[in-house]
Amino acid sequence: MARSRQPNNTRQRRRRRASPSASVRLVEVTIDEIGTRGDGIATVDGNQIYIPCTAPGDVVKVELRGQRGQISELISQSPHRVPPPCPHFGSCGGCSLQHLDAGYYSGWKRGLVINALVRAGFDEGLIAPLVACEPSSRRRAEFSVFKNKAGLTFGFNARRSDRISEIESCSVLHPKLSSRLNDLKIFSSAVPAHSFDLGVMLCNNGLDINIVCEKLDELSAAEISALANQMRAVSCIRLSLNGETEIELEKPITRLGAVEVSPPPGAFLQASQEAENVLAALVLKSLGQAKRVADLFSGSGTFTFRIAEGAAVDAYDADRPAIAALDVAARGASLPHPVKAIVQNLFDRPVMAAELDLYDAIVFDPPRGGSKAQADEIALSQVPKVISVSCNPVSFARDAAILRAGGSTPCRR
């Protein structure tokens, strides 16, 4: 996991408004711990309060509004506090824990997984040490853009706000992406909209950009021409609007295992190549000698093509463009074992237990909310091996408990 998490910019339609103003009082507190969302937690009058950009052991004066506070003065500094590497930390809401030393951060991050699994009745000893990614390795981001008479603002949402914090640099992003921030800002000036989100993914052969703007449905010929010129300047190879391709100078290519894939606009890709490699290695190690595998929630094939080096794979996903990209790549690759691409909504129509019994192993990688319906069917099946992958400890623990109730025995990898 990366130490500084992705600038967590929320799309326009889901942005959170700041809370209405409440009465303010000044209090002095000691930070007890860091909460699951990265805020420091202290106690005032028997109630927990949440203060961003604090570290456990900090003594701070806080401007308190309800249960949330802002640092007014740092009186005594925690031994776990370090200078954040990013000059925008604190104003930009993307990263919440850059001010913590690596040792504490790693323990806190691993603790999120431990706490979720222990609450679900699992043994803490099952959890392996955290594997940290190198800094400056993130290859995708979603920026916010706003234009008015005063000019253009380009950056990430401020913390718990729809206000955009303008950035000039980002220590989380891959250098090939962070070096293009000013170019991306110039590119944004050519987009004929006042407010939009700019999703950018670093591919092997350039940048893949997706504009998310509910009020921009169609581009004129002149607008397309202007944007095409800006695309070349920013090394953008494909431009999409709300997930639909508008201009494609060449097909974006990303390598998943040994296979080159052209993902659809807005496709999911692991945040860093290093994280993808670590996860894939763990999945392959766990599969062992399995000869027929179901890859559930496969996306464009993060694990599929690697699995196909040693086993036949049926890849399932509801995302039709992602499955189409996987299928095209599989047909063009010289893989040792066959890959079958299947469009199926596993939330509404999970693969049933009787169907799953045909496989030697299942790889199960649902979105953040997990998939209880599919977990229920896996639990009813007789599949000898299930490898579950998740980015959410809470939904992972819930689904893991379902599998355990069905007779699965958890193991550490």
Cα R_g (the chain), whole angstroms: 23
What is the spatial distance between Cα 335 and Cα 339, in angstroms, rounded to a whole number?
Answer: 8
What is the spatial distance between Cα 159 and Cα 138, in angstroms, rounded to a whole number?
Answer: 20
Q: Is residue 60 situated within a structural domain?
A: no
Q: Tell me if 363 sits within 8 A of 300, measured CB to CB.
A: no
Average pLDDT score over the chain? 92
Q: Is residue 304 situated within a structural domain?
A: yes
What is the spatial distance between Cα 289 and Cα 361, in angstroms, rounded to a whole number?
Answer: 10
Q: Is residue 66 situated within a structural domain?
A: no
DSSP-assigned letters across all residues of 10-66: PPGGGPPPPPPP---EEEEEE--EE-TTS-EEEEETTEEEEETT--TT-EEEEEEET
Q: Is residue 313 situated within a structural domain?
A: yes
Q: Is residue 296 situated within a structural domain?
A: yes
**Interval 353-373 mean pLDDT:** 96
H/E run at residue 195: strand 195-203
Paired tokens of 219: 């581009």
* Per-residue pLDDT tens digits for 240-272: 999 999 999 999 999 999 999 999 998 999 999
What is the spatial distance between Cα 167 and Cα 231, in angstroms, rounded to a whole number?
Answer: 21
**Interval 51-64 mean pLDDT:** 96
Q: Is residue 266 situated within a structural domain?
A: no
pLDDT for the residue 22: 63
pLDDT for the residue 161: 86
Confidence of residue 413 (pLDDT cuts 50, 70, 90): low
Q: Tell me if 208 sits within 8 A of 238, measured CB to CB.
A: yes
Look at residue 73 and tell me whether its pLDDT is greater than 60.
Answer: yes
Beta bridge partner(s), residue 292 = 312
Percent of the chain with pLDDT over 90: 87
Look at residue 5 and tell me whether its pLDDT is greater than 60.
Answer: no
* Per-residue pLDDT tens digits for 284-301: 999 999 999 999 999 999
**Residues with active-site annotation:** 391
Q: Model-level pTM?
A: 0.89
How many domains are contained in the chain? 1
| CATH number of the CATH domain containing 370 | 3.40.50.150
Specify the residue for token string 């950056």: 155
Look at residue 163 and tell me whether its pLDDT is greater than 50.
Answer: yes
Q: Is residue 166 situated within a structural domain?
A: no
pLDDT for the residue 21: 55
What is the spatial distance between Cα 301 and Cα 101, in angstroms, rounded to a whole number?
Answer: 35
Confidence of residue 23 (pLDDT cuts 50, 70, 90): confident
Handedness of CA 33, 130, 297, 204 (dihedral sign): positive
Domain that holds residue 330: 272-405
φ, ψ of residue 269 to 5 degrees: the values are -140, 140
pLDDT for the residue 2: 32
What is the spatial distance between Cα 357 and Cα 340, in angstroms, rounded to a whole number?
Answer: 17
Q: Is residue 143 situated within a structural domain?
A: no
pLDDT for the residue 3: 35
* Per-residue pLDDT tens digits for 302-339: 999 999 999 999 999 999 999 999 999 999 999 999 99
What is the spatial distance between Cα 197 and Cα 162, in angstroms, rounded to a whole number?
Answer: 12
What is the spatial distance between Cα 411 and Cα 127, in angstroms, rounded to a whole number?
Answer: 9
